[in-house]
Structure 1
């Protein structure tokens, strides 16, 4: 039986009468439950990551699909991969119902389409080499579910991230992940605990994949792009530590010459 715990009434009443301190403390109390819920889903996450790694090592791509907050979280995670790990653009792709406009401005009824999700994937020439993860806190978003169903018809591996037990989206995924966070602090506001849970799972998926794909050495982001002064300074310190260089100016010159800690080390 499917029960949407994400839509159940908040455990807290009369929020407008709470002090600022009590509002913050109660939200924090609820937030503390999220990592515990994520921990219970680790076996599901592990299966999904292993399936994605196999495909990406063979040259495939990873797609995130969602609507509203879920879509934005997928785009956020995908957009951080190239600068953080030096991965080429287009290997991890975030798609949101309503297109780029919907990243900042809600697009009416976009999440209700049962055809547009697959069309959006086709625009990226989706194939059996790729993996698609549908993200939906409720687990009921038609835009996402219909796209996953089409993927399975075309032998494309699918995963899902939702926050309700036995969610409909799970039935459309080869590797479903369900993180049951319970009712939100504000009833139905899934940008809160559900969104936090989704962000944590996405962090775990993409970070583990990057380590598996050799983009991390020891505990360092040796392939990060040098896009600002902070990252150049961080890279300089990494190179000094890894190569035993004592002259910071020399290390910085080498770093900028080769473009990453990894390439600088390979050319020493």
Structure 2
């Protein structure tokens, strides 16, 4: 019995009050950060392997099915606006294609050959990293992709929520976050999904910091795609250079982003 499939600690959920349901879910959720904490050494090893490859021009690919695949797509899609990197530097691929982001595609996760096929348009190479995401740790789509990636010389990692899983065995640098039974038995979109989201945030944020995409504690390379982000950029420039709002606006208008504005002003 997989830990993620084991029976909930709670029974007769349909007889609970709404307050009890919410309190119980929250109680379970509080265990997730501690489970992630235990996996930090594994996350550290993976990040340390990813960074030098990306410094050579490598990319980071996520593959997964269902909730796991969607989480990979979300994390990848947030990297360009947050860190100003190209849209194809971190790529999330979900079993069943982009349509599966909104609507489940039956049996897509059971095809062990399809993940590597899905990666081919990107022409993966030995500087790239493939991270498989699978709460159960037994998804054929992910296992097959990792096996083929290793043969092709890519760095391989994974994020799973069971110990000693086939996915972990297929990855050189596995991250295993065991969160225990779900409140709703087997519903890995809950604690397991939360744990995966936390780990993916940790991976990409730490990688981007090491790649120089952050200054101090600021997202100086972020894309200015709305008024909120423009306001944030202006505050960064004002704080960093001790200039007036008008001067900050002028610098931002001229140079296009926070890093370029600050660099130009200091020359």
Give me the TM-score of the superposition, normalised by structure 2: 0.98
| Aligned partner (choices 245, 249, 252) of residue 248 of structure 1 | 245
- Residue by residue over 1:62-117, the C-alpha shift from the partner in whole angstroms, topping out at 9 and shown as x without a partner, is 00000000000000000000101111110000000000100101111100001111
For 1:105, the equivalent position in structure 2 comes to 103
1:256 positional shift: 2.5
Superposed, 1:165-204 pairs within 5 Å as: 165-204=163-202
Any gaps of 5 or more consecutive residues in structure 1? none
Once the two structures are TM-superposed, the CA of residue 123 in structure 1 deviates from its matched residue by 1.7
Are 1:38 and 1:197, in contact at CA under 8 Å, matched by a contact in 2?
yes
* 1:35 pairs with one of 3, 22, 33: 33
The 8 Å contact of residues 67 and 96 in structure 1, kept in 2 or not, is answered as yes
Secondary structure of 2:72's partner?
helix
2:135 paired residue number? 137
Structure 1 runs of 4+ aligned residues shifted over 2 Å read none
Deviations 1:135-192 (A, max 9, x none): 0000000001001001111111100000001011011000000000000000000000
Aligned residue number for residue 149 of structure 1: 147
- Displacement, 1:267? 1.1
Structure 2, gaps ≥5 residues long = none
Q: State the Cα RMSD in Å.
A: 0.7
Q: Tell me if 1:69 matches 2:67.
A: yes
* Correspondence for 1:160 among 158, 166, 172: 158
| DSSP 3-state at the match of 1:183 | coil
Q: Deviations over 1:183-214 (max 9, x none)?
A: 00000000000000000000000000110000
Count of aligned pairs: 265
Equivalent-residue separation in structure 2 for 1:83 and 1:24 (angstroms) = 33
